Amino acid sequence: MPNETLYEELGGAAAVDAAVDVFYRKVLSDDRVSEFFDDVGMDRQIAKQKAFLTMVFGGPVAYSGKDMRAGHAHLIARGLNDSHVDAVIELLGTSLREVGAPEHLVVKVAAIAESARADVLNR
Amino acid sequence: MPELTFQGKTYAFEAGETVLDTLLRHGLPAAHSCKAGSCGSCMLRAPAGAVPASAQTGLKDSWKAQGYFLPCVCRVESNLSISPVGADAQLSGTIRSLELLSPDVLRLRVRCDAPLPFRGGQYVTLLREDGLARSYSIASLPDEGELEFHVRRIAQGRMSGWLHEEAGPGDRVSVLGPSGECFYVPGNPDQPLLLVGTGTGLAPLYGILRDAIANQHRGPIQLFHGAVHKGGLYLVNELRRLAAAHAHVDYSAAVLQGEESEDCLVGPLDKVVLSRIPKLTGWRGYVCGDPALVGLLKKKFFLSGMASREIHADAFLASVV
């Protein structure tokens, strides 16, 4: 289907639901980044990760660059930098492959995630 | 500043105040407990649409539609007129029995004047006649006709002190509720269930366990009850009998400090559970009790493979009054 959006190609909300646990489990278990995900209750984190995945899947989400900046400012104070963004993008790719997303879509998702880097790091 | 109208009088809000703050500052007898929008003790009623949706979070839809809201988390920008909860949300009842289950846990049974629809594991706010309010989980099932609560004696606790030392059969109380999302849902009868709680976190789990059995749940049901010392365990014989009577039900007691024995495991509860069941993929979990431990167990279970949507929890918030 030529007019399908990336979000639809990936499987929409169901794909987000399938990926969110896999992805959040990976970041919580990864020593490089887990400390940044550790201090917020699980339910709120799951909701945040769903919003994040919906965004990088190119889906409908009310998540602005300003929100990304405000939401990560306190983490920058704790040392959040490029290496952590790299790790999260890497874990995102691993998660998507694990739930069966085709490689050309994984690449597109990584590109959207990459586009959020400046906002996340407040540059 | 906007004004609050309550029982025919108006009161000025001060900047940043919640509706509950305003009521208390004016010396009005407003029931409350957690002050965090969780327990439901302070619930009041406003005209539909008059309060922000955030002040109705967690209330059931039929209550939201009637304008019920939680004043402890409600801040408004314009004048607000409120009224007490109606008889439709509050039920009167009578204390039937009080029985010590351990040195500091009391089993309280209350019969309501009319049937209260609820699910085992939900909680209600218990109100004394003078308006003192605390929330307790329901350990019984609706067909038992009486509500069962497990009340731990808390140092300087006004409600628990009254129940442990002064209250008796025949005393009148009211209940407001039920609330809470931590209960058994039929529909996946072969799924393994993991029930873990500390202290009186056993109360909701006891309701959930028996609800699952009553609904002919077929998958394994593993209950772990944790305490600091052996003295904090209770209902041990009843739970052992329940496990003996149902081949798919297993009960384990665990303490943080003490000697390991045949009928009691020793160690941190998360480690005890995960050493028994290392992989939780496909399991449904219920976690109740101390908030810090509930948070930890949720995360550990999730990392051990339990899906996030399968984790049901009830963290007991302490009263702040």
pLDDT in tens, A9-61: 999 888 888 899 999 999 999 999 998 887 777 888 888 888 889 889 988 87
Is a pLDDT exceeding 90 seen at residue B320? no
The pLDDT tens digits for A69-103 are: 888 889 999 999 999 999 999 999 999 999 999 99
Q: Are B148 and B175 in contact (CB under 8 A)?
A: no
B298 contacts on A by Cβ (under 8 Å): 42
In a domain, B188, yes or no: no
A25 contacts on B by Cβ (under 8 Å): 302-303
Are B63 and B99 within one domain?
no
Whether residue A2 lies within 8 A of chain B, CB to CB, comes out as: no
Residue of B nearest to A50 (CA): B308
- Strand arrangement of the beta sheet that strand B9-12 belongs to: B9-12, B3-6, B80-82
A21 contacts on B by Cβ (under 8 Å): 302, 307-308
Q: Which of B303, B307, B311 sits opposite A28 (nearest CB)?
A: B303
- Position B321 scores a pLDDT of 58
Number of structural domains in chain B:
3
Question: Which A residues 8-37 touch B at CB under 8 Å?
Answer: 20-21, 24-25, 28-29
Residue of B nearest to A18 (CA): B307
Domain harbouring B113, CATH code: 2.40.30.10
**Residue B143: closest CA among B122, B174, B119:** B119
- Position A65 scores a pLDDT of 67
Domain that residue B290 falls in: 193-315
Number of structural domains in chain A:
1
CB contact under 8 A, B303 and A24: no
CB contact under 8 A, B308 and A42: yes
Are B209 and B275 within one domain?
yes
Write the burial class of residue B256 (CB in 10 Å: 0-12 exposed, 13-18 middle, 19+ buried): middle
CB contact under 8 A, B308 and A24: yes
B308 contacts on A by Cβ (under 8 Å): 20-21, 24, 42, 46
CA neighbours closer than 13 Å in the CB half-sphere of residue B260:
5
Across the strands, what pairs with B260? none
In a domain, B104, yes or no: yes
In a domain, A1, yes or no: no
